[in-house]
Structure 1
Amino acid sequence: MIYFIGILICIALLFLILFLGPKGKIFYSGKSAARSSVNLRIDNKTKEIIQRQLAEAETLKKIAKPAQLKQAILELDKGLNLALESLYPGKNFVEKMKQVKPKIKNGELYDNLWYAHKVRNIIAHEINTDLAFTELQRVMDIFEESLRDLINS
């Protein structure tokens, strides 16, 4: 009988340790609530940096040459990454982008943003990339709209 009671106590303790965890919460993840939660706004310093990048991209866009548009796209992608770092926890760009979907009001814009980032990767990693001028303008417009949406929401 004592053996049976001992087994029940061990099972109960195991249950308490495994399911309630050290913080007394079921399936405790180990992350603090503040760290795992999403900031609702981009801080002012980050907004200022992104707004400068948007202005610089607009200047490059006015030059109307493919090389300048490519440079502007790279800058705008940096701005997007900065905004995502400010808003969402995550190890990499992909993890943060998955979290941004509810924040971007327009679902089509979210899909276009993924496309724009892929074009950015082509520009950054492939030598002698020839993309149509209109396509470069479209990608810039997507980045600009997305960044404005993120910093103004």
Structure 2
Amino acid sequence: MNKTAILGACTAFAALFLIHGQAAAQDASAPDTESTAYVRTVEGSFDDVAFAVEQAITNEGLVIDLTSHVGEMLSRTKEDVGGAKDLFTQADIFSFCSATVSRQVMEADPANIQYCPYTIFVYERADEPGTVVVGHRYYPGETMKPVNDMLTGLVDTGTE
């Protein structure tokens, strides 16, 4: 595998780890210019929380295009890449798009196509069983505010 392919494959996973580093300080925080993610931490089973998030997305008429099972991949490849510890009990990323919101943000700036599809992550750390983190990254610029608002609403609904 070449360097470009490895870097591309790791981009989503690196973002997940960067987001977690800020999660504790920003739990259910309001957006500000320095935040990179909106996160909510809830007590419960990963399966129940992930199902609630999935339902929040689909109940809005949105179609989940892909569920990335990041936790399974990291567990499966831990020894192959020299991993020293288990990071998650489970970790998934839901990818989806909204025709209405996408049209709105792309009419405001066609370059916003680069952010679609949108994602919500759900994970339970191996060292914190029973605590599930749910969130989304903040997309930059005022024209992406409708996407950030939609994702925050879905995270809040899925963690109520």
When the two structures are superposed, what TM-score results if normalisation uses the length of structure 2? 0.30
Structure with higher helix content: 1
Structure with higher strand content: 2
